[in-house]
Amino acid sequence: MAATRAASARGMSVTREEVAKISNLARIRMTDGELDRMVPELNKILDWVEQLGEVDVTGVEPMTAVIPNTLRLRADEVDAIPETAGGRRDDVLANAPAAEHGFFGVPKVIE
Amino acid sequence: MTDLTQLGVKAIRDGVAGGDFTAREVAESFNAAVAGASALNAFIVATPDHALSAADAVDARRAKGEDLGKMGGVPIGMKDLFCTDGVQTTAASHILEGFVPRYESTVSRKLWEAGAGMLGKLNLDQFAMGSSNETSYFGNVSSPWRKEGANAAMSPGGSSGGSSAAVAARIAPAATGTDTGGSIRQPAAFTGIAGIKPTYGRCSRWGVVAFASSLDQAGPMARSVEDCAIMLEAMAGFDPKDATSLERDVPAWEAGLDANLKGKRIGIPREYRMEGTDQAILDSWEQGKAWLRDAGAEIVDVSLPHTKYALPAYYIIAPAEASSNLARYDGVRYGLRDLPDGSGLQDMYAATREEGFGDEVKRRILIGTYVLSAGFYDAYYTQAQKIRALVARDFEEAFASCDAILAPTTPTASFPLGENSDDPLAMYLNDVFAVPASLAGLPAMSVPAMLNPDGLPLGLQIVGKPFDEQGVLNAGLAIQQRAGFDAAPEKWW
């Protein structure tokens, strides 16, 4: 099923059910009215990007780094960079909507 | 005494160093200008105390005969996408309203270390997604410019629309911007100021609220090419905290400025002659060629065959990265939390994100989620990344026969607020000339060229080879000297 759909991704438009599914995957709640509005907007954008299918990309590698750059390793040293080091619990929690006992508070996740 | 708010970065820095006026006098003048310009809605918060204390520190250093720094005594506006220690940072979103970072972004830290002070945090399109500054949770920014004989509020461009409006209105001598797909250059063009996006990796992304990490680059916006060169020197440089930061020395761009283009070849990409481009824009492009020829350059035709595919590829790649980057806004660690009665963790995520994100941000997250989802990834995302490679290759091949490229910055001048806001696709087309250089990570700048028949500014764009900000700035300077653009918006705010 997934393979068939991938092969025909171009020329396809998204249905209301698919947009509802995507919004669930993206964890964005949407009202019926918002879904109604979003479906034609997304389809218009997806129709427009379909022109990319015209381009012959035989033998072209997808870009992974825009400017050739080697990934560095930082020094193997504890707390080498103070701003991103440990020991800053209060700073990390300072903007949490619900910080309790030195932790992030969340609704109960285990029954 | 001269009105200090009419001065740019270089004039302020040199005037403070020379004792013509104090940094405190400069900060006070601009603080007052900011306070008097609330009708523009350029600032989300003003920070007059930050500007004053930075100014006092510079004045004290001068009294002791110490070095004042590259930006000594210059108060600037900071786009509210840069995290500033102890000062609210929102990305113009509701989801980050009230977020007060406990650390300073590398770019802003470097500016303060160079002697700059902060006038406030500048409004922008929400999460830098937009081309008109109409997607901010904190309201639209109005351009200080209006059409001749008209009163309609005009767009300052976006996403760095607070930055462009503030600099054009002379309530800040310069401002930071960020450019993902034109967000420095398009607003600069709309408001008659200069702005440069350096090579990807020149300015650290650490502490900049992320939109599309493979494209995001910070840069300066100011009224002249010289001012941009000075400020970019202060902003750029290697940062071990950004994995894509360039390990290269920062050139002395200001000292290297030279408007003599003898021996340089400037390419004119034939594919940029697009349908729907205003005649006045095409005329300004012709004029730009004549100016560069006058500066000694040879004008050559070049081809960038995949130009038309750059924008649609961008609108797959940028939303894909955004959907991933913005997954962090979950109502747990910072920002807004919406916890409906009796709901669990998943409901909290969904409600928080519904409440906290604006329409354009949701639209892009949904597009990004879709193109990255199982079964669609190759057809959309991989294809777009291959086309991105072709767009970059086009530039590489063009640069075999030229040193820099001249093009319009935008297909039209600024438009009235509200005119394009119902049609996302029409809005995206604003960046059709700006996006290719973003996809290729190249340095690119917009400089003011002239006014159109409506009395609105038009910009010209120069795109350079990787790492050749100097070549871009020099061509920009050659245009600036010949354009003699000194138009300013008439004060109505």
Q: What is the pLDDT of residues B316-361, one digit of tens each?
A: 999 999 999 999 999 999 999 999 998 999 999 999 999 999 999 9
CA angle B207, B213, B218 (to 5 degrees): 55
Q: Tell whether the model's pLDDT for residue A9 goes beyond 70.
A: no
B34: in domain: yes
With an 8 Å Cβ cutoff, are B392 and A66 in contact?
yes
The confidence band for B368, taking pLDDT boundaries of 50, 70 and 90, is: very high
- Are B221 and B195 in contact, with CB atoms under 8 Å apart? yes
- Percent of chain A past pLDDT 70, that is, above it, reads 88
**Domain locations in chain A?**
13-53
Tell me which residues of chain B, numbers 311 to 370, contact chain A at a CB-CB cutoff of 8 Å: 312-313, 315-316, 323, 327, 330-337, 339, 343-351, 353-354, 357, 362-363, 365-367, 369-370
At A7 the pLDDT is 37
Q: For chain A, how far is it from start to end, CA to CA, in angstroms?
A: 35
B140: in domain: yes
- List, for residues B243-289, the tens digit of each pLDDT value: 999 999 999 999 999 999 999 999 999 999 988 889 999 999 999 99
Q: What is the CA A108 to chain-centroid distance, rounded?
A: 25
At B94 the pLDDT is 98
Q: Tell whether the model's pLDDT for residue A3 goes beyond 70.
A: no
**Which residues of B are less than 8 Å from A65 in CB distance?**
244
Predicted ipTM beyond 0.85: yes
- Are B358 and B404 in contact, with CB atoms under 8 Å apart? no
How high does pLDDT run on average in chain A? 87
B357: in domain: no
Could you please report the per-residue DSSP string of B91-129? Answer: TT-STTTT---SS--HHHHHHHHTT-EEEEEEP-SGGG-
The CA–CA distances, whole Å, from B404 to B298, B435, B446, B457 equal 11, 16, 13, 23
d(CA B8, CA B229): 12
Residues in contact with A70: Cβ distance below 8 Å, sequence separation at least 6, in sequence order: none
Q: Tell whether the model's pLDDT for residue B438 goes beyond 60.
A: yes
Cα atoms in the 13 Å half-sphere on the side-chain side of B330: 14
d(CA B30, CA B173): 8
At B457 the pLDDT is 98
Q: Tell whether the model's pLDDT for residue A10 goes beyond 60.
A: no
With an 8 Å Cβ cutoff, are A30 and B334 in contact?
no
Here the CATH number for the domain that contains residue B184 is 3.90.1300.10
- The beta strands (E) that lie in chain A are given as 99-100, 103-104
How high does pLDDT run on average in chain B? 97
At A108 the pLDDT is 86
- Catalytic-residue membership of B79: yes
How large is the average pLDDT for residues A14-34? Answer: 96
Q: Which domain holds residue B15?
A: 4-261
> Cis peptide before B136, with omega less than 30 degrees from 0?
no
How large is the average pLDDT for residues B126-152? Answer: 97
Which CATH architecture is the domain A13-53 placed in?
Orthogonal Bundle (1.10)
d(CA A59, CA B391): 15
How large is the average pLDDT for residues B401-410? Answer: 98
- List, for residues B70-123, the tens digit of each pLDDT value: 999 999 999 999 999 999 999 999 999 999 999 999 999 999 999 999 999 999
- Are B193 and B461 in contact, with CB atoms under 8 Å apart? no
User: Which of A27, A60, A91 would best serve as a mutation to test chain B binding (most B beta carbons within 10 A)?
Assistant: A27
Task: Pull the structure tokens for residue B399.
Answer: 């640069």
- List, for residues B12-35, the tens digit of each pLDDT value: 999 999 999 999 999 999 999 999
Q: How many domains would you assign to chain B? A: 1
- Are B430 and B133 in contact, with CB atoms under 8 Å apart? no
Specify the pairing of strand B457-464 against strand B404-408. Answer: antiparallel
Q: Tell whether the model's pLDDT for residue B128 goes beyond 60.
A: yes
